[in-house]
Amino acid sequence: MNKKTVILISSVLFLFSALFVFANKETIVSSVSFPEGYRQWVHTKSMVIFDKKHPLFEPFGGIHHIYVNEKGLKANQEGGEYPDGSKLVFVLYEADETGGAYVAGKMKFVAVMEKDKKRFSDTGGWGFEVFKAGSQAGAVKDSKKECFECHSAQKSSDYVFSRYVE
Amino acid sequence: MNKKTVILISSVLFLFSALFVFANKETIVSSVSFPEGYRQWVHTKSMVIFDKKHPLFEPFGGIHHIYVNEKGLKANQEGGEYPDGSKLVFVLYEADETGGAYVAGKMKFVAVMEKDKKRFSDTGGWGFEVFKAGSQAGAVKDSKKECFECHSAQKSSDYVFSRYVE
């Protein structure tokens, strides 16, 4: 082989491995994509965690709303198993207090659960992701540890904490 | 006229006046009907009024959510005039405090604004109604005094207080 051929083959091999690493990284890092249009989904419930004494103040202090897409609505309202394609959003804002009232302040993050029994068989059939305010890149590194460890306690409601408030 | 004719005419006249009274009562008592399906509309914002020191604690203490129908969404997001047919719902629940958090408790009422420039020309083009929890009968007797007196201050946003929170 002459020098030119070696350079060409090396370049091609390098590009392929770079592509492989990049593609793989994509799969691992953001298997659940940003839930575009979630604010048009059905709002199911809200909560304000305002005091340090609440056990979830550290991760979830603030005002949060839950939204569910059409596929997941029935299970959220009536219980039972969520069908594949169901999505739930938990969006957290700072809780701004003004004169005896709380309103939503700065957004903190958008968290998503997406049901796909095959893709997410290790975590109860649910994929988990968190998007910090303004970011479309997932922040979760190990959804088993960071998300499912807590959600696994909710097996009887298909690993979902929230229930629709009439 | 014979007796039969007199009875017939009287009956018809009675039915007509009964119908008139009934129809009129309907128009006056519930000019804005219950907003069926409002929980499927877009959720725009929420607020928790938890302390007596808040000037609106007496009428609106608790946790409330605002929902807007499709026709009213753009104006609620971007400002400007709401088109006829726009509807906004303000639903109020008791704010239950548990260990440093507020969640929605018992529902108090569902309040509605409906835009119709002709029908509601006396009150900024908006009809106002309040449905106490579980009731489909309007509770507002004088919407000018009970609703519009406050809303009139919001002329610059077409008499609507709430604005969509991104």
SS3 category, B19: helix
Query: Residue A48 is nearest to which of B102, B107, B165, comparing CB atoms?
Result: B102
Q: What is the pLDDT of residues B124-154, one digit of tens each?
A: 999 999 999 999 999 999 999 999 999 999 9
Could you tell me if B166 and B88 are in contact, meaning their C-beta atoms sit under 8 angstroms apart? no
**How far does the CA of residue A14 sit from the closest CA of chain B (Å)?**
44
Q: What is the ipTM of this complex?
A: 0.81
CB contacts, 8 Å: A67 with chain B = 43
Q: What pLDDT, on the 0 to 100 scale, is given for residue A30?
A: 43
Q: Does residue A80 surpass a pLDDT of 60?
A: yes
pLDDT grade for B32, boundaries at 50, 70 and 90:
very high
Top residue of A68, A92, A102, A163 to mutate, by most chain B CBs within 10 Å, is A102
SS3 category, B21: helix
pTM value is: 0.82
Give dist(CA A15, CA A48) in Å, integer. Answer: 50
Higher-scoring residue by pLDDT: B21, B45: B45
Higher-scoring residue by pLDDT: A57, A22: A57
Q: Does residue A22 surpass a pLDDT of 70?
A: no
Give dist(CA A88, CA B157) in Å, integer. Answer: 32
Closest-CA residue of chain A to B133: A166
Query: Residue B51 is nearest to which of A39, A55, A100, comparing CB atoms?
Result: A100
B83: how many CB neighbours lie within 10 A of its CB?
Answer: 12
Could you tell me if A160 and A68 are in contact, meaning their C-beta atoms sit under 8 angstroms apart? no
Q: What is the pLDDT of residues A110-144, one digit of tens each?
A: 999 999 999 999 999 999 999 999 999 999 999 99
Please enumerate in sequence order all residues whose Cβ is within 8 A of that of B63, keeping only pairs 6 or more positions apart, or say none.
A46, A48, B46, B47, B48, B92, B93, B94, B95, B102, B103, B104
How far is C-alpha B79 from the geometric centre of its chain's CA atoms?
Answer: 20
Tell me whether residues A103 and B47 touch, CB distance under 8 A: yes
Give dist(CA A133, CA A92) in Å, integer. Answer: 9
Q: Does residue B13 surpass a pLDDT of 90?
A: no
A2-6, A21-25, A121-125, A162-166: which has the minimum mean pLDDT?
Answer: A21-25
Top residue of B38, B102, B103, B109 to mutate, by most chain A CBs within 10 Å, is B102
A23-27, A127-131, B37-41, B87-91: which has the minimum mean pLDDT?
Answer: A23-27
Buried b / exposed e along B28-55 (16+ C-beta atoms within 10 A): eebbbeebeebbebbbbbbbbbbeeebe
What Cα–Cα distance (Å) separates residue A117 from each residue in A84, A153, B25, B116?
Answer: 7, 18, 56, 48
Distance from the first to the final alpha carbon of chain B: 74
pLDDT grade for A29, boundaries at 50, 70 and 90:
very low
